Chains A and B, each alone.
Chain A
Amino acid sequence: NAGVTQTPKFQVLKTGQSMTLQCAQDMNHEYMSWYRQDPGMGLRLIHYSVGAGITDQGEVPNGYNVSRSTTEDFPLRLLSAAPSQTSVYFCASSLTPLGSPLHFGNGTRLTVT
């Protein structure tokens, strides 16, 4: 019962570096999403996907790219890291785009110096 798996758990980047946060789910969920969690701001949606080949922007998409080539995987790319992207990142999936609860991964703590 893996559920939603995120890697890495921790990452430190220098300003300007790029990296990819990995997310995989084994529950055959249609919907996948990326959130960032910052103190005092709650969870904010970065990008989401309602199925393979379909992605769209959430509330705070700038500086991030996503793709969904398979149902299982939904990687998040940071193009050129900035200190403002220091955060905890959660990947979450649900069976359907509406009406079913999100299941979260364990998060990636990213620090950009």
Chain B
Amino acid sequence: EDKVVQSPLSLVVHEGDTVTLNCSYEVTNFRSLLWYKQEKKAPTFLFMLTSSGIEKKSGRLSSILDKKELFSILNITATQTGDSAVYLCAVERGETSGSRLTFGEGTQLTVNP
């Protein structure tokens, strides 16, 4: 059974801090790992990672995948209150049948002013 474990489950920081969110996985026929940000409503897409060791970056957010050790991290530098959200990690299998994406529980990030 595919498994995605995120840590920590919750995190409270002050504005300006740097945070690292972790995602480890076990999946057969791995294709990609995705990060989403979920505020009050729909999860919104952040990154898709398919290759090991290549950092994806968008502003203050960055993410990297280690396919040998089966984990990914999401870094947020100089956090702002608008970064407060649940961050979801999901792993995609390389097949069109069955549960294509397996999600972790998420990390609840709270950024205090």
Residues in chain A within 8 A of chain B (CB atoms): 4, 33, 35, 40-45, 48, 50, 56, 58-59, 90, 97-99, 101-107
Contact = CB atoms under 8 A, between A and B. Distances in A.
Given A99-B31, A103-B45, A42 B103 contact: yes
B101 A45 contact: yes
B96 A97 contact: yes
A27 to B, nearest CB: 13
9 contacts: A4-B42, A35-B103, A40-B105, A42-B106, A59-B99, A97-B96, A97-B100, A102-B45, A106-B42
A50 B105 contact: no
Interface string B42-77: 111100100000000000000000000000000000
Interface of B: 4, 31-32, 34, 36, 41-45, 48, 88, 90, 92, 94-101, 103-106
Given A97-B100, A107-B42, A42 B105 contact: yes
A59 B100 CA distance: 10
Given A98-B31, A101-B48, A107-B41, A45 B106 contact: no
A54 to B, nearest CB: 10
